[in-house]
Structure 1
Amino acid sequence: MNRNTGKTDIRSLNLAELQQVFVAMGEKNFRATQVYEWLWKKSCFSFQDMSNISKELRNKLEANFTINHVKINNSQFSADKTIKNSFILHDTHLIEGVLIPSDDRMTACVSSQVGCSLTCKFCATGYMERKRNLNPDEIYDQVVLIDKQARENYNIPLTNIVYMGMGEPLLNYANVLKSIERITAEDGLNMAAKRITVSTAGIAKMIKKLGDEQVKFNLALSLHAANDKKRNEIMPINEQNSLKALAEALKYYYTKTKNPVTYEYIVFNNFNDELEDAAELARFCKHLPCKVNIIEYNPISFADFLNAGEDKIDAFAAYLRKQGIITNVRRSRGKDIDAACGQLAIKEKAAANIS
């Protein structure tokens, strides 16, 4: 429900519910299917643009429903072609999402919450208050808008989606999975689930739930330390979700899905950058098939962490590879516009009059 208009957001209804509403309005079932296709397959944000619907029905929909779509508030362009967007929601909250172009892919990094409640010490979003969860359509809209941006600026459609923006996806579990269902459905955006990665700070019971649902998308765990003492220090979530609990949950997830897991690991200077730390990570990797993405740290004003030197990062990666672990070193993108990993935090106010 939109509190300003008193109208129901039509995208909060599934197809069966929409059909019931249409029948109650004296309309045929197939009209509901047509509208549903406009909403989710054609990503239409206006009833008046639904050209195969009669003007009378369009006006009826306008009178009774709203489409609470996301709008771009501001876009910043990085020297490396990364584009950071602040998006404004129907209730004036702001979130951020990023388009990350590279040689072989065009990736959308999307948010799942307004703010975050996890207080990870190295992440700018962790210093924000969590205002609310995003609805499935608000996540879907980020993908639609970033895809449009990719086509307009680089003439290439999106190839990948990562749920690595603001918020913890597994604390918005139902809405995140619903958004992925709409993004991957034939009557939605029809993107392959294997091109979607959901990243979590590590909530063991929800990882097991993903296993029970035998999800097809990829799972990444923000690990950053493979012993509890260090991980507790930088990620308070670890106090309730220890490495042992996470290992058990991930093994369960793998037995149910057969999907390898990606571990994300930021190598912080003088914190987790020694070969002893690499050895701990290698032991953790033995639990199930996986790969490691070593991520460059992007400094934020709230914290004193520094990125490890290149020699340390190279030695760390070489050690893991000698242990037979697939290891990639990911260089930061969009750092000059605070669009890189861990830097997303709203620094502006919403534009006054966004139509």
Structure 2
Amino acid sequence: MGAVITQQSKTDIRKAKPEAIKAFLAEIGEKPFRSKQIQEWLWKKSARSFDEMTNLSKKTRELLEEHFVLNPVKVQDHQLSSDRTIKSMFELHDGHAVEGVLIPTSSRMTACVSSQVGCSLSCKFCATGYMERKRNLDAAEIYDQVVLINQQAETNYQIPLSNIVYMGMGEPLLNYKNVLESIDHITSPEGLNMSPKRITVSTAGIAKMIKKLGDDEVKFNLALSLHAANDEKRDKIMPINESNTLEALKDALNYFYNKTGNRITFEYIVFYNFNDTLEDARELWEFTKKVPSKVNIIEYNPISEADFKNTEADRLDQFAAFLEKKGVTVNVRRSRGKDIDAACGQLAIKKK
């Protein structure tokens, strides 16, 4: 009697190396080209079951089912905002959940995806930072969020995704391998064939991993959650700054730029009476001179765990105007999906 194969002992086919799939196919007497067909089903056609692989024989599909497992991410719940933003709770195969957001605007259709279940960085203004980090997402779980959000875009608005931002739950650079592998599947001609120029990975600032991105000569865009351009203020809201100072980040970002040629985006949330004065704007301008960059000024979205408030409209306008007069490229990002807790910094799995 052969060993009984349980669901737990099966290999996740999307984690299996192509050589292992080829070896399995040889073992069951299938032709090697079937391996390419399977990869196509997994990463180009986004198959969610072996039954969908209709150019394989029924017997081969049954044998795949017997030896491998496919763990597609599922939409457990979703909410529609008054501004057409859609927030989804995605259920993972082990019962954990993450959130992702479809952000439709007049010029683009953006997916905001998560890279970790929870987060370990404890940024004081971010709801995810108050959650415990349970685990990293694997590449397929990140890829699935993109596929499902794209389906929502096409179903609800008849427009496919134009952009992807890794700005959901978690710190992408603390899940480096899986994040880069997911981007490979999203951008590869054998995958979703999306341009890396339409993908932005956002980090709270881990200097050595930013340098690694440079060494790997990545093609996607990099955004740094800055939120204060002096160490004392940044330490107060982002504990990661204590071990990754602005000086260390400046060196890492210049290294990244010299290796990739990609200008950095600084994300700057304006908190009332904390980092919203013209002196703060001057410090930010000084920092932008040290790194080829542009600035996204972001409205703050209050969370119950923190006392921060969004700055007043006239202070935000003065802040942006100061930077623009100094020649900084500035975009003011208005909140989307605030009424369903889908806006920047609001993603958290609410305990039932």
TM-score, normalized by length of structure 2?
0.97
Tell me the CA shift for residue 49 of structure 1: 1.1
What does residue 135 of structure 1 align with? Answer: 138
User: Which 4+ runs in 1 deviate beyond 6 A?
Assistant: none
Query: How far does residue 5 in structure 1 lie from its aligned partner after superposition?
Result: 3.4
Does the alignment pair 1:31 with 2:34?
A: yes
| Counterpart for residue 99 of structure 2 | 96
* Deviation at residue 314 of structure 1 after TM alignment: 0.5
Matched, 1:278 2:298: no
Aligned partner of residue 78 in structure 2, secondary structure: strand
CA distance in 1, matches of 2:27, 2:43: 22
**How big is each residue's C-alpha offset from its partner over 1:225-269, in whole Å with a ceiling of 9 and x where there is no partner?**
000000000000000000000000000000000000000000100
CA distance in 2, matches of 1:109, 1:245: 28
- State how far apart, in whole Å, the 1-side matches of 2:37 and 2:329 are: 46
- The Cα offsets for residues 12-33 of structure 1, whole Å up to 9 and x where unpaired, read as 0232332233223332210011
Q: CA deviation at 1:330?
A: 0.4
CA contact (8 A) 2:7 2:69 kept: no
**Post-superposition CA distance 1:165-201 (Å, at most 9, x none):** 0000000000000000000000100000000000000
Matched, 1:233 2:241: no
Q: Which residue of 2 aligns with 1:201?
A: 204
> How many angstroms apart in 2 are the aligned matches of 1:131 and 1:228?
29
Counterpart for residue 192 of structure 1: 195
- CA distance, structure 2, for counterparts of residue 291 and residue 41 of structure 1: 34
Listed as ranges, the gaps of 5+ residues in structure 1 are 350-355
| Residue of structure 2 equivalent to 1:352 | none
Q: Kindly tell me: are residues 4 and 121 of structure 1, through their superposed partners in 2, closer, same or farther at Cα, counting changes over 3 Å?
A: farther
| Distance of 1:170 and 1:139 partners within structure 2 | 14
Q: Cα distance 1:4–1:50, how it changes in 2: closer, same or farther (>3 A)? A: closer
Correspondence 1:1-355 to 2 at 5 A: 4-348=7-351
**In the TM superposition, what is the alpha-carbon distance from 1:294 to its structure 2 partner?**
0.2
CA 275–248 in structure 1, closer or farther in 2 if over 3 Å, else same: same
Distance (Å, rounded) in 1 between the aligned partners of 2:117 and 2:158: 30
Deviation per CA, 1:41-94, whole angstroms, max 9, x where unpaired? 000011011110000100000101110110000000000000000000000001
**Cα offset for 1:312?**
0.6
Q: Name the % identity.
A: 67
* Cα distance in structure 2, aligned partners of 1:337 and 1:195: 26
- Between the aligned partners of 2:18 and 2:194, the Cα distance in structure 1 is 20
Cα distance, 1:207–1:90 mapped onto 2, change above 3 Å: same
Determine the C-alpha separation between the residues in 2 that align with 1:255 and 1:179.
24
Counterpart of 1:340, as a letter, is A
Distance 2:6 2:134 in 1: 17
Give the counterpart letter for 1:202 in structure 2: G
The separation in 2 between residues aligned to 1:288 and 1:229, in whole angstroms, is 20
Letter in 2 for 1:309: E
- Report the residue type matching 2:137 in the other structure: L
The more displaced of 49-58 and 282-291 is 282-291
Q: Deviations over 1:249-295 (max 9, x none)?
A: 00000000000000000010000001110111011101222110000
RMSD of aligned residue pairs (Cα, Å): 1.1
SS in 2 for 1:75: strand
CA distance, structure 2, for counterparts of residue 24 and residue 202 of structure 1: 47
How many residue pairs get aligned? The number is: 348
Task: Give 5+ residue unaligned stretches, structure 2.
Answer: none
* In 2, Cα distance between equivalents of 1:294 and 1:135: 31
